[in-house]
Chains A and B, each alone.
Chain A
Amino acid sequence: MTVIVENDVRLLRRLLVCLNYGEMENVVKLDTYLRQVRELNFQLSRYIPEAEWPRYLNRFNQEEQLLARQYGFVWLPDHVDTIFLNRKWKNPFTLYVRLLQVITELGELGELFYQPKAERPPDWADQVEEMKHFYRGRVPTPEQVKKLSIVERLARWASKK
């Protein structure tokens, strides 16, 4: 049985944060790291039948149980403990998204702080470039204009007929 350390617990919470934000690629990365490198044995609540959840949550008060149900939890069978995402931890700026040590092999996900992409301030330069690209795609080429005019002429002719 692997000895679990606080950094692992925080990575498990980071996994739940990514899951809540729909960052599935990051979920897979964290899951793989925790299972294969850290050799942790854990179960995500989404793979546990909901009817069985009470046995994993009965230690917690009502508010905590609601949070665990809403945001999901991680069951550690070897350690008989449940990790859940307190609403205070859901804020990407809070302490518990902060790792105690950097995991370089996880790249951005292994940095002390990780902010879900949806929570990041918009990068205006990127957005302007995206808009330009979008509108460029909508401006018809001369050939398209020509084809359009032929189609229009045909349509008019058809309507007169």
Chain B
Amino acid sequence: MPIVAGDLLYKYTGAGSHNAAQTDPNASLGNFRASSLITDAADNNVFDDVSGGESAAGDTEYRAIAFHNNHGSLPLTAGKVWISADTGNAEDDISIAVEVPAASETTGAIQTIVNESTAPTGVSWSDATTKVTGLNFPGSGADVAAGDWFGIWLRRIISVGAAAQSAESVTIRCEGDTAP
């Protein structure tokens, strides 16, 4: 049976060990993949609100989420990740980067950042908004084997003096090929 959308899961990182529970979006700053799923299309499911002080001074924050191929046997091949929708305006910007877990692509960990304002190192940021310009899945052959995962880093930049906005969101899309 081919991979279907339900086999592809978006989860938090920041777990103390592989597949441990971790439901705090603000603690999703790298390390092991959590077992906890990110609730789709929910407010503050990844980033928190921007405070008045943060918008006045400008603010750059980071999060890492996990993309997990939960299919029993098939790899997702020739994969790409990009920002498929964004309500952002002139005063904010979202970029993405990818990182493959070290030691094991199934049970390993990506780097951990000490706090949300610290940039991850060794990653390349992209503002890709369509598949053709999207980032290749990291690791060999742009594949994610069954049970494997990789990290998607998100960088949110709020410009100095940004005006208050409500309900701003981005949609991250991963797409690849599956055997039948």
**Which residues of A are interface residues toward B (Cβ below 8 A)?**
4-6, 9-10, 13, 59, 76, 79-81, 83, 86, 88-89, 93-96, 98, 100, 113
Contact = CB atoms under 8 A, between A and B. Distances in A.
B18 interface: no
13 contacts: A4-B133, A5-B133, A6-B126, A9-B128, A9-B133, A59-B175, A76-B132, A81-B131, A81-B132, A89-B85, A94-B88, A95-B88, A98-B90
A83 B130 contact: yes
Contacts, number: 48
A100 B127 contact: yes
A81 B90 contact: no
A84 B111 CA distance: 35
A94 B86 contact: yes
B127 A6 contact: yes
B93 interface: yes
A123 B40 CA distance: 43
A66 B132 CA distance: 21
A6 B131 CA distance: 10
A10, A59, A95 — which one has the most chain B CB atoms within 10 A of its CB? A95
Given A59-B175, A95-B93, A9 B86 contact: no
Interface string B70-87: 000000000000001111
Interface size class of B (residues with CB under 8 A): 10 to 19
B89 interface: yes
Contacts of B87: 88, 94
Contacts of B131: 81
A113 B84 CA distance: 20
A133 B15 CA distance: 71
Contact of B132 (A4, A59, A89, A96): A4
B85, B89, B94, B128 — which one has the most chain A CB atoms within 10 A of its CB? B85
Nearest to A78: B132
B129 A94 contact: no
A10 B129 contact: yes
Contact of A6 (B85, B94, B128, B175): B128
Contacts of A4: 132-133
Contacts of B175: 59
A76 B130 CA distance: 11
Interface in B112-156: 126-133
Given A86-B85, A94-B86, A95-B86, A9 B93 contact: no
Contact of B133 (A6, A59, A96): A6
B129 A96 contact: yes
A88 B169 CA distance: 10
A80, A98, A113 — which one has the most chain B CB atoms within 10 A of its CB? A98
Contacts of B129: 6, 9-10, 13, 96
Contacts of B90: 93, 95, 98, 113
Contacts of B86: 88-89, 94-96
